[in-house]
Amino acid sequence: MGKSAQVSKGHPPGMQKEISVKRGKKGRIDKNRYGLFFLAPFFIAFLIFGLYPILYTLYLSFTSYDGFNNPVFIGMKNYTKVFTDPLFYEALKNTVIMWVIGAVPQFIFAFLLAAVFTYNKVRGKGIFRAIYYLPRLVTAVSISALFNQFLSYPSGIVNQLLTSLNIVGEPVNFLSSVPFAQGSIGLIHWWMFYGNTMIMVMAGMTAISPSLYEAAKVDGANGWNLFWKITFPLLRPVTAFVFLNSLVGGLQSFDVQQILTGGLGAPQGKLMTVVMYLYNTAFKYNNFGYSAAIAYYLFFFIAIFASFSVMGRLKEGRESS
């Protein structure tokens, strides 16, 4: 209010006009309209490269399409097929198993390390964090190829080490036995992500006010109690977030398994993930329509978990704005 009075006194007529435009109702909306312009490129690009393909995939899921002849509308057939497809559920099972094998150690290490770093003065903390985090940044394909070499039979590095240290008598064929192969995938996932999870958990841990701990200690609580009664419960939102994120990511696994098995989920298809099944159906067997249905069915599973995450973020977003 005061501003207007000041300004109109000492400024040339032109300026005055501008200001009154700004302060008038019309003026406010004019400037605010710019917001739409700023948002336009994003949404236009999204409409073209994001929404349109998604809707097109939806359309294709109701057709039979082999990649060159025109799509033929077949209604819900693809969906009835995928709902009862043993190969889909097998792939889903594999995907989840491999995720669990990796996620369990991943979370244990993440929490353990987060606690160690948050509650202790560790020298070289920055370097440690950096080294633990690094694997996550690296190309999954490269890492898989690398581990493929390490685990190769009989003269990959792991086998060389195991035999020379006499831990095993003969080299182990990791990638040809189902438990070892799935375990290897789990190992790679653990290695790639525990650092990332650790950092996210740390963000949550550091937010917990130390005074809570002080108060509890006064009441005689020991380290164990402190963790389970204070830290863990307060970390629930972070834990949930990290867990959901990991699960959603795990459901989408593709790169690592494709490289390690050359595309067919060997041995015996036990490493076949849902996305690999999707990819093969479309690009190997040219059933694009069915593949689209697989994509949407998978999305159904992902959406369930992702929606919890979105709701959490929404709360976060609203709270900050």
What part of residues 150-189 is at the interface with another protein (CB under 8 A)?
150, 152-155, 157, 160-161, 164, 171, 173, 176, 178
Residue 132 within binding range of another protein, rule CB under 8 A:
yes
Residue 16 within binding range of another protein, rule CB under 8 A:
no
Q: 261-300: which residues touch another protein (CB under 8 A)?
A: 262-264, 266-269, 275, 278-279, 281-288, 290-292, 295-296, 298-299
Residue 109 within binding range of another protein, rule CB under 8 A:
yes
Chain centroid to CA 90: how far? 22
Instruction: Kindly tell me which residue out of 108, 141, 168, 215 binds another protein, with binding defined by CB under 8 A.
Output: 141
Q: Please state the closest distance from residue 142 (CB atom) to another protein, in A.
A: 5
Collapsing DSSP to helix, strand or coil, 24 comes out as coil
Residue 233 within binding range of another protein, rule CB under 8 A:
no
- Surface-to-core class of residue 78, CB atoms within 10 Å of its CB (0-12 exposed, 13-18 middle, 19+ buried): buried
Q: 213-232: which residues touch another protein (CB under 8 A)?
A: 223, 226-227, 231
Q: Angle at CA 289, nearest 5°, toward 286 and 293?
A: 125
Q: Please state the closest distance from residue 14 (CB atom) to another protein, in A.
A: 9
Residue 234 within binding range of another protein, rule CB under 8 A:
no
Q: Please state the closest distance from residue 91 (CB atom) to another protein, in A.
A: 11
Whether omega before 154 lies within 30 degrees of 0, making that bond cis, reads yes
Residue 257 within binding range of another protein, rule CB under 8 A:
no
Of 118, 253, 109, nearest to 194 by C-alpha is 109
Query: What's the chain's length in residues?
Result: 321
Contacts with another protein by CB under 8 A: the residue count is 142
In the block, residue with structure tokens 């040339």 = 12
Q: How far apart are CA 58 and CA 56, in angstroms?
A: 5
Identify residue 166 by its one-letter amino acid code: N
Binding letters toward another protein, positions 60-99, x by CB under 8 A: x----x-xx------------x---xxx------------
Q: Which two tokens stand for residue 145?
A: 């190829």
Q: Please state the closest distance from residue 200 (CB atom) to another protein, in A.
A: 6
Residue 119 within binding range of another protein, rule CB under 8 A:
yes
Sign of CA dihedral 308, 86, 255, 51: negative
Instruction: Kindly tell me which residue out of 148, 182, 184, 239 binds another protein, with binding defined by CB under 8 A.
Output: 148
Question: How many CB atoms neighbour CB 163 within 10 A?
Answer: 16
Instruction: Kindly tell me which residue out of 97, 146, 212, 221 binds another protein, with binding defined by CB under 8 A.
Output: 146
Secondary structure (H, E, C), 95-124:
HHHHHHHHHHHHHHHHHHHHHHHHHCCCCC
Q: How far apart are CA 152 and CA 139, in angstroms?
A: 20
Residue 307 within binding range of another protein, rule CB under 8 A:
yes
